């Protein structure tokens, strides 16, 4: 059985951990003391660590289990939209202290939010990782890194109908967390290295259609707008990947990902 490390066990990381724990031994980090027991109860081996430097931050030492790991999944937010360049450099330095020069597979959970907010179709070649600060910094630390640009995270308790939404006739770019875990699992199996993939469901219904289906309200498409659409054909083609949840309209139905 392979050993997988997950750095950042928040909403997405904890769900990836639970799904992959059926097949791998999972080591995970958390910033919350209260979450240690929850992870242990799931059979996950936790480490308490904070990668953001503040007055209460302790010096970061190397992850004691790092030499046991076959792959590391990084779900830490690492974007210039959230933090300035100096803060990102500090976080990167602390991450490096924690992982050392890890040579196994590395996966970084980026976002399709890196693409401009304009109404057009986007593919990976439209924006190389060298032109995205956070992604480029990660590549400087792990040249072998696989960068997954995730669309809007959905599934489980995340439903579009729970949010205040504008532009109801524009298309959605969503991904179910179970498919993210499946992509990572498949990439581990084929030993992917240095890949850049958009990870988004292949169907793009309107926001109105998704919301109405979730509320069980009849929907008739009306004046569908041209919008910003992210495509994942590269990943589908190279991995021969089949989505469990290809259509965001049905994310809330028959959620068989193993989480309530």
Tell me the angle at which helices 177-189 and 11-20 cross, rounded to the nearest 10 degrees. 50
Rounded CA separation 62/72 (Å): 14
Would you state the torsion angle of the CA atoms of residues 149, 109, 55, 58, taken in this order, to the nearest 10 degrees? -160
Residue pair 104/71 in contact (Cβ under 8 Å)? The answer is yes
Residue pair 146/107 in contact (Cβ under 8 Å)? The answer is yes
Which residue(s) pair with 28 in the sheet? 6, 46
CB atoms within 10 A of CB 178: 22
Rounded CA separation 216/211 (Å): 8
In this structure, CATH architecture of domain 3-250: 3-Layer(aba) Sandwich (3.40)
Rounded CA separation 102/141 (Å): 9
Q: What is the pLDDT along the chain (260 residues), one digit of tens a residue?
A: 899 999 999 999 999 999 999 999 999 999 889 899 999 999 999 999 988 877 566 788 999 999 999 999 999 988 887 888 888 999 999 999 999 999 999 999 999 999 999 999 999 999 999 999 999 999 999 999 999 999 999 999 899 999 999 889 999 999 999 999 999 999 999 999 999 999 999 999 999 999 999 999 987 777 777 899 999 999 999 999 999 999 999 998 866 544 43
CA geometry: angle 229, 17, 104, nearest 5 deg: 85
Rounded CA separation 74/147 (Å): 10
137: nearest Cα among 105, 77, 92: 92
SS3 per residue for 85-147 = HHHHHHHHHHHHHHHCCCCCEEEEEEEHHHCCCCCCEECHHHCCHHHCHHHHHHHHHCCCCEE
Residue 81 is predicted with a pLDDT of 79
Residue 224 is predicted with a pLDDT of 75
Q: Please state the pTM of the whole predicted model.
A: 0.93
The string of DSSP codes covering 34-93 is: HHHHHHHHTT-EEEE---S--TTPPPP---TTGGG-SEEEE-S---TTTS-HHHHHHHHH
Rounded CA separation 199/216 (Å): 27
């Amino acid at each position: 059985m392979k050993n997988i490390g997950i750095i950042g066990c928040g909403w997405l990381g904890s769900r990836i951990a639970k799904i992959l724990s059926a097949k791998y031994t999972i080591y995970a980090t958390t910033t919350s003391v209260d979450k240690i027991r929850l992870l242990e109860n799931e059979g996950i081996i936790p480490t308490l660590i904070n990668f953001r430097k503040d007055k209460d931050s302790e010096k970061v030492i190397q992850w004691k289990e790092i030499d046991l790991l076959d792959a590391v999944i990084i779900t830490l937010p690492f974007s210039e939209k959230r933090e300035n360049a100096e803060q990102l450099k500090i976080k990167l330095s602390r991450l490096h202290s924690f992982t050392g020069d890890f040579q196994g597979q590395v996966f970084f959970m980026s976002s399709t939010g890196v693409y401009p907010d304009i109404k057009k179709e986007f593919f990976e070649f439209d924006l190389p990782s060298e032109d995205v600060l956070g992604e480029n910094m990660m590549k400087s630390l792990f040249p072998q890194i696989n960068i997954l640009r995730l669309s809007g995270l959905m599934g489980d308790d995340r439903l579009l109908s729970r949010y205040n939404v504008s532009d109801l006739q524009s298309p959605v770019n969503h991904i179910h967390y179970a498919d993210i875990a499946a992509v990572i699992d498949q990439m581990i199996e084929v030993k992917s290295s240095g890949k850049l993939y958009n990870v988004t469901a292949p169907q793009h219904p309107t926001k109105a259609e998704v919301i109405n289906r979730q509320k069980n309200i009849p929907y008739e498409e009306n004046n569908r707008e041209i919008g910003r659409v992210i495509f994942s054909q590269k990943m589908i083609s190279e991995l021969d990947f089949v989505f469990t949840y290809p259509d965001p309209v049905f994310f809330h139905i028959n959620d068989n990902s193993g989480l309530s």
